[in-house]
Amino acid sequence: MSVVAPKGFEAVGVSAGIKSSGELDLAIVSTRAPVPAAAVFTTNMAAAAPVRLSRKHLSVAPTARAVVLNSGCANASTGKRGRAVAELTANRTAELLGCAPEDILICSTGMIGTHLAPEAVTAGVADAIEGLGDSDADGTAAAWAIMTTDTEPKQVVVTAEGFTVGGMAKGAGMIRPDMATMLVVLTTDAAVTSSVLDEALRIAVDHSFHALNVDGCPSTNDTVIALASGASGFTPEPEDLAAALTGATVQLARHIAADAEGASRVVTIAVTGAVDDGAARNIGRQVSDSVLVRSSFYGADPNWGRIVGALGEVDEEVDFDDVTIAFAGTTVARSGVGVTVDEDAISAAMAGDFGVAISVGKGPGTARVFTTDLTPDYVRFNAERS
């Protein structure tokens, strides 16, 4: 179970004809009444119509009755026509659910620059609302309906003391912190206010999706939404809510990395010794942005010099006389100088998912960044439209 695991939620996935293949392409996650809501959106200045509308709705009141998500069309760079379709989606859903349009949040994903057919959306919303349910199958159908280049649905459930967190995500390419081409809906039956939910969500995103980098490309539609039904009747401590949401989002972030377009392995970069956590995260991002570094990951080559080169471009404090680097648990450089190692053994350990540990000084800052190798398949996949 995923988004329907917590009490008080229903979901559905239907085929609205947005995808020419006839696959599931429209999902709704709904509650019985407006509940506390929070969201983190892309920082891309070319934000799509659904992002702009959802931001507007949450600025009116931090609550939501339902989230409507479609795949097969990003409804981005579509001008007035795209904004009108996003508003139509919200209005039609609100009419059928008997709530205000401001209580509907909208998400879209797919190709940028294509238009979303209004008749497909309105008919699809009507079909979806008729089929809302709280079974495992309903939650899984919703997760399937938001996929684009994903090869499988991404779902998670975290059971905490007194409450549950569920989630679903899509994302496989154009993945970069702040944020990535992802749509995520998180649900919880914890009884919390919108402000507490918002703070917990931002902590969770900072340690998961903001620490995820597949190809250095941000997108126009990235949205992470959290809804709290309160149906458990339990009010957790804010830090416990943040921990549960973080647990869920880290699992989803790793799932996205594992399903990244063309990737053959997930690489976890752990940075220590920075002046603070923010600096450590920036250092990890810089390393994961390097095409040379990620190409060496594909070749299972413990080429620590490429990491040093990437560190030299970081706008953060790095003590190069104290840099230590390890691949797959084996130190290859210490105090800024290489050490004698069995490179064949390290390369063998890098054949699957592995970790890279980078110490940049004596500071207290630490961070973890998830990335992948850069493969020929990624280039071939993205040489064509998808």
Annotated catalytic residues are 181
Give the pair of three-digit tokens for residue 68. 């409507």
Picking from 98, 38, 27, 83, the residue whose alpha carbon sits closest to that of residue 64 is 38
To the nearest 10 degrees (0 to 180), the angle between helices 118-130 and 79-97 is 20
Tell me how far apart the alpha carbons of residues 344 and 337 are, in angstroms, rounded to a whole number: 19
Helices (H) and strands (E) in the chain, counts: 11, 15
Q: State the residue for tokens 């209580």.
A: 103
Contact between 27 and 64 under an 8 Å Cβ cutoff? The reply is: no
SS3 45: coil
| CA atoms of 80 and 103, how far apart (whole Å) | 22
In contact, 192 and 8? CB cutoff 8 Å: no
Residue 328: how many CA atoms within 13 Å on its side-chain side? 21
Beta bridge pairs of residue 168: 155, 185
Alpha-carbon distances, residue 125 vs 28, 63, 70, 77, 122 (angstroms): 8, 20, 10, 23, 5
Largest separation between any pair of C-alpha atoms in the chain: 69
Q: Are 257 and 372 in contact (CB under 8 A)?
A: yes
Q: Can you tell me the distance from the alpha carbon of 109 to that of 31, in angstroms, rounded to the nearest whole number?
A: 23
Q: HSE-up of 46 (CA within 13 Å, CB side)? A: 11
For residue 365 the two structure tokens come to 């800052």
In sequence order, what are the residues at sequence separation of 6 or more whose Cβ sits closer than 8 angstroms to the Cβ of residue 354?
265, 267, 268, 327, 328
d(CA 41, CA 49): 12
Local structure of 99: helix, strand or coil: coil
